[in-house]
Structure 1
Amino acid sequence: MAARALPAAAAVQALRSVYERVRVAAERSGRSASQVNVVAVSKTKPVSLIREVYDAGHRHFGENYVQEFIDKAPQLPSDIRWHFIGHLQSNKAKSLVANVPQLYMVEGIDNFKVASLLDRAVSLLQRNPLKVLVQVNTSGEESKSGVEPSACVELAKQIKADCPNLEFSGLMTIGMQDYTSTPENFKALVNCREDVCKALEIPQSSCELSMGMSGDFEQAIEMGSTNVRIGSTIFGAREYPAKK
């Protein structure tokens, strides 16, 4: 069964509603909306719908599946800032970088092997350094990818020291499976940022926190998120092909 998408007008209206909710949540956190980036997560959604949201002025989009990503990206404008979100298999790192030249950020580095492979792929293409976020498993769920909070500093240091073609840009967490992360999940990532910034001797303002999705992004912003990943609230519920 194909993914059911919202009508284009509804998706654009939903995007504007998200912007307003981000603005209010940012103000509650003592910041402006310009300090919070919205990534429209478009996995399973058709290129035509992504284009409508793009035409409304949005530029940051996210995908989770490499092959789907590779298929979609060439069909869309080159000034889109694409985010790959979640666990990236090591055998797909080279393909992702080679086939999505406008790849802006990888949100989900959870081991140094993947970081090294991405670094090598970027080097071969002689493109600008690729922004990356270290994924931290803040909920402790075995099904989740990501390093333990206690290991985030070491991985960030390795990327910073040994991957010249990657730009360590911060930390991300997926949160709870039902999108209802507790404040403790978000606080764990905030604490990781404090530790990483101290170890790398960088200001916290240069270390992004990507946390918060459709069900909990306002709470995440109030706790300091600088990057929220919104899928179903903008594009409608996802429907995956039935398993045969």
Structure 2
Amino acid sequence: MNNLEAVVRQDSHSATPAEQSSTPEMAAAASAAEGMAAAALRSVLQRVNQAAERSSRQADRIRVVAVSKTKPVPLLRQVYDAGHRFFGENYVQEIVEKAPQLPENIEWHFIGNLQSNKVKPLLTGVPNLAMVETVDDEKIANHLDRAIGNIGRKPLKVLVQVNTSGEESKYGVEPSGVVELAKHVRTNCPNLEFCGLMTIGMPDYTSTPENFKTLANCRTEVCKALGIAEEQCELSMGMSGDFELAVEMGSTNVRVGSTIFGAREYPKK
């Protein structure tokens, strides 16, 4: 467990709310945890700004999604209290549990593989879901479109996930199928708003430039086919290990988890 999470859990479980507010040690622990979370967030935002400057881009056009996978709600709350509003989750169960415990003005991004039977729980459980970044075939696009129509909520922003690395372990449509899937979303899914493309680079970060170039090339083809400007088509690429490079190569949306929240903690089997 990283230091920040340990402090938060100790603070939230070892005293009542009244004791927490009145015990100097608890107040100091909470302050230290908040400082670590806020500092990590500020560092990431500063690095994004610097990467934007290096590539002659406007930093305010780049969204940082704080990915809170496996992290407890108190940690998210501290990042929220530091002024951040964009959060992402990989699993439906986690986002459905966390979202109701946090302010409604958070813009949630779902960034994991989405199964058809999880579409309705996701949409009904997270009314402030802002975007699904992982639409990778017509089937899931159709499920989302129908479910949104049945619920009666406003159109949902989506990105088409592209497997730019060619790895069998990765989800995403092949680059050759991107245009067809983007057309399907735009033409046949009135309850979805096509907003761009997403990819996950290879674990070997020396390979990610090629992955990012592939996604940028896919955007060029999609925008030409749909008759839209490239500025209207987002690129979601870049994570904790390569988000600066991604910004320099045109990313408009980076997904940063461990650099903000610390290493992920999975339950021991």
Q: If the length of structure 1 is used for normalisation, what is the TM-score?
A: 0.96
Kindly state the Cα deviation for residue 178 of structure 1 after the two structures are TM-superposed: 5.0
Output the CA distance in 1 between the equivalents of 2:134 and 2:265.
Answer: 23
Work out which of the residue numbers 227, 235, 260 in structure 2 matches 1:201. Answer: 227
2:5 is matched with 5
Output the CA distance in 2 between the equivalents of 1:40 and 1:169.
Answer: 19
Contact in 2 for aligned 1:3/1:44 (Cα 8 Å):
no
Which structure's residues are more often helix, by fraction?
2
Output the CA distance in 1 between the equivalents of 2:112 and 2:94.
Answer: 14
| 2:40 matches 1:34 | no
Output the CA distance in 1 between the equivalents of 2:129 and 2:208.
Answer: 31
Contact in 2 for aligned 1:4/1:238 (Cα 8 Å):
no
Output the CA distance in 1 between the equivalents of 2:206 and 2:155.
Answer: 34
Output the CA distance in 1 between the equivalents of 2:268 and 2:203.
Answer: 21
Larger relative contact order (C-alpha < 8 A, sep ≥ 6)?
Answer: 1
How many residue pairs align between the two structures? 243
| 2:138 matches 1:138 | no
Output the CA distance in 2 between the equivalents of 1:170 and 1:3.
Answer: 37
- In the alignment, structure 2 segments of 5+ residues that lack a partner are 7-32
| 2:180 matches 1:154 | yes
Q: Which deviates more, 203-212 or 171-180?
A: 171-180
Sequence identity percentage = 69
Contact in 2 for aligned 1:5/1:237 (Cα 8 Å):
no
- In the alignment, structure 1 segments of 5+ residues that lack a partner are none
> Is the alpha carbon distance of 1:11 and 1:2 closer, same or farther for their aligned partners in structure 2, counting shifts above 3 Å?
closer
Work out which of the residue numbers 112, 116, 120 in structure 2 matches 1:90. Answer: 116
The one-letter code matched in structure 2 to 1:138 is T
> Secondary structure at the residue paired with 1:10?
helix
| 2:104 matches 1:78 | yes
Kindly state the Cα deviation for residue 160 of structure 1 after the two structures are TM-superposed: 0.4
Work out which of the residue numbers 209, 226, 236 in structure 1 matches 2:262. Answer: 236
Q: 4+ residue runs of structure 1 moved beyond 6 angstroms?
A: 1-4
Contact in 2 for aligned 1:138/1:173 (Cα 8 Å):
yes
1:166 is matched with 192
Q: Which deviates more, 121-130 or 155-164?
A: 121-130
Contact in 1 for aligned 2:71/2:265 (Cα 8 Å):
no
> Is the alpha carbon distance of 1:38 and 1:180 closer, same or farther for their aligned partners in structure 2, counting shifts above 3 Å?
farther
Work out which of the residue numbers 126, 141, 144 in structure 2 matches 1:118. Answer: 144
User: Larger radius of gyration, structure 1 or 2?
Assistant: 2
Q: If the length of structure 2 is used for normalisation, what is the TM-score?
A: 0.87
> Secondary structure at the residue paired with 2:235?
strand
Contact in 2 for aligned 1:208/1:225 (Cα 8 Å):
yes
